[in-house]
């Protein structure tokens, strides 16, 4: 058995071609379908299936931080025996993404996004109060763009 995903030519083009440049259109999947000589339903269903299979992790725009709303990186030092409970509380907030554990004194890291500074502060205060642990708020001082697209080489 092989771990290499088996994609047909059109699926390969869908995954490869749209790592960047998702059409800025009210119906982006319809525009993609036109370019792939498919229909919109096929694009949507194929992307849904590829996500379920773990081939595609996310479909959506990457927006430059703090260009729409505000965000911050947060680190917490949580005793290992309390990490699961605290992570579950953090994960309840829809404003939280990129939540992950690290092997460090600050072992729980996550990004919080909000429409404005007041809402961001409210979310951070809520997490602090509910978890009982202090937060290390690490707002971005300078941004760096990292292109996460890469050429796919499946045979």
Tell me the average pLDDT across 61-70. Answer: 72
What residues make up the domain containing 23? 9-52
Q: Which pLDDT does position 1 carry in this prediction?
A: 41
CATH number at residue 119: 3.30.70.3460
Q: What is the pLDDT of residue 63?
A: 66
Q: pLDDT tens for residues 17-47?
A: 888 778 888 999 999 999 999 999 999 999 9
Exposed e or buried b per residue across 55-77, where buried means at least 16 C-beta atoms within 10 angstroms of its C-beta: ebeeeeeeeebeeeebbbebbbe
At 106-144, the pLDDT tens digits run: 999 999 999 999 999 999 999 999 999 999 999 888 776
Q: Is the same domain home to 43 and 97?
A: no
Number of domains in the chain: 2
Greater confidence (153 vs 16) lies with 16
Q: Is 97 a domain residue?
A: yes
């Amino acid at each position: 058995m092989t771990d290499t995903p088996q994609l047909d030519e059109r699926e390969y083009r869908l995954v490869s071609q749209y790592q960047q440049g998702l059409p800025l259109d009210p119906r982006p999947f319809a525009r993609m379908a036109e370019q792939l000589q498919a229909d919109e339903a096929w694009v949507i269903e194929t992307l849904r299936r590829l996500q379920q299979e773990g081939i595609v992790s996310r479909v959506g725009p990457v927006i430059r931080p703090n260009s729409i709303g505000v965000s911050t990186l947060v680190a917490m030092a949580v005793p290992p025996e309390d990490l699961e409970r605290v992570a579950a509380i953090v994960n309840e907030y829809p404003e939280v993404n990129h939540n992950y554990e690290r092997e460090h004194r600050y072992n729980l890291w996550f990004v919080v996004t909000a429409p404005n500074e007041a809402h961001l502060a409210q979310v951070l205060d809520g997490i602090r109060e509910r978890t009982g642990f202090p937060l290390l708020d690490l707002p971005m001082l300078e941004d760096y763009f990292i292109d996460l697209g890469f050429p796919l080489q499946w045979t």
